[in-house]
């Protein structure tokens, strides 16, 4: 589906997925089933929407660009399980979609300019979500799936992996989109942990310690954490204050957060 005369808008970060092979591969990875509840963020021209609806799933689509509302409704209102929400995904209340304890499966070709804040927003709703499949800038996916010691390891990956299992599924070239972006893209799968892996951790303290530790990536824990934790306290849990944050594991950050909580 392509609305006549519709031009991709930079302010919405629009790069419409058009490659049938990529769409087929993405839908196969999502593997939607009859009566499952999917939420598509940014359906755009509806290329992915159309394929998802073939599974007879229930699909709520969230689209910010009001110029796309009429063509999306014209194309998909024939499906009784399709509902379009003209809204900003960054401010959308995902709890309003929850029904009968059925988990949400969230998918989308996310605008690169809002992908990080949107993921943080969705992480506050992981209790409602079974899984998430997103098309993102490759570098963002590398940050989401990074491990300690990797240059991409940082706040986004740590806070995401605190909530979810993260996996890079496959890369997507610029020519799969219209217009082609200037960067490589990739598909990521995020699966929220069924049970909290750190049930005693104060997430606010964790976020605080991670943000402080990565405030200046090239500086050591001694320097970045000096306002919140002493060298002696860092050493008390077996960490070297002269190391950099990118060498620490999620478990290390959880232990630092516990120190911060104990000292407050």
Q: Residue 179: is its pLDDT beyond 90?
A: no
pLDDT at site 263: 81
DSSP annotation of 180 reads: P
What's the confidence (pLDDT) of residue 1? 45
Residue 7 pLDDT level (bands cut at 50, 70, 90): low
What pLDDT digit, counting tens, does each position of 41-80 carry? 999 889 999 999 999 999 999 999 998 999 999 999 999 9
Report pLDDT digits (tens) over 239-259.
999 999 999 999 999 999 999
CATH 1.10.8.100 fits 203-263, yes or no: yes
Query: What global pTM score does this model have?
Result: 0.92
- Phi-psi region for residue 87, left (φ > 0), alpha (ψ -120 to 50) or beta? beta
Distance (Å, whole) CA 247 – CA 57:
43
Residue boundaries of the structural domains of the chain: 10-192, 203-263
Candidates 118, 116, 93; CA nearest to 42 is 118
Q: At what angle do helices 250-263 and 203-213 cross, to 10 degrees?
A: 110
- Quick one: how far is CA 233 from the chain centroid? 33
- What angle, rounded to 10 degrees, do the helices at 115-123 and 138-145 form? 40
Residue 209 has pLDDT above 70, yes or no: yes
Confidence of residue 149 (pLDDT cuts 50, 70, 90): very high
- Both structure tokens of 196: 């909290």
pLDDT beyond 50 at 261: yes
Whether 197 shows a pLDDT value over 90: the answer reads yes
In CATH, which superfamily holds the domain spanning 10-192?
Answer: Vaccinia Virus protein VP39 (3.40.50.150)
Torsion of CA 169, 175, 178, 183, to 10 degrees: 70
* Pairing of β 177-178 and β 164-172: unpaired
| pLDDT number for residue 205 | 97
Q: How far apart are CA 128 and CA 100, in angstroms?
A: 11
Q: Is the pLDDT of residue 111 over 60?
A: yes
């Amino acid at each position: 589906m392509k609305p006549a005369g519709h031009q991709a808008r930079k302010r919405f970060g629009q790069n419409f997925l058009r490659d049938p092979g990529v769409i087929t591969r993405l839908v196969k990875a999502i593997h939607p089933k009859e009566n499952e509840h999917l939420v598509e963020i940014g359906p755009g021209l509806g290329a992915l929407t159309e394929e998802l609806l073939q599974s007879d799933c229930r699909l709520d689509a969230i689209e910010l660009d009001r110029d796309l509302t009429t063509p999306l409704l014209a194309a998909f209102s024939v499906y009784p399980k399709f509902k379009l929400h003209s809204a900003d995904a960054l401010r959308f209340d995902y709890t309003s979609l929850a029904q009968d304890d059925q988990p949400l499966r969230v998918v989308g070709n996310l605008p690169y300019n809002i992908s990080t804040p949107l993921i943080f927003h969705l992480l506050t709703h992981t209790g409602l979500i079974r899984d998430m499949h997103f098309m993102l800038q490759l570098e963002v996916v590398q940050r989401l799936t990074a491990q300690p010691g990797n240059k991409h390891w940082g706040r986004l990956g740590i806070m995401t992996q605190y909530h979810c299992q993260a996996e890079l599924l496959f890369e997507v070239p610029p020519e799969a989109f219209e217009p082609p972006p200037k960067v490589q893209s990739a598909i990521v799968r995020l699966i929220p942990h069924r049970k909290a892996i750190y049930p005693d951790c104060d997430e606010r303290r964790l976020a605080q310690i991670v943000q402080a530790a990565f405030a200046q990536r090239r500086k050591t824990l001694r320097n970045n954490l000096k306002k919140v934790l002493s060298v002696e306290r860092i050493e008390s849990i077996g960490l070297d204050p002269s190391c950099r944050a990118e060498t620490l594991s999620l478990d290390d950050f959880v232990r630092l957060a516990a120190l911060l909580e104990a000292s407050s």
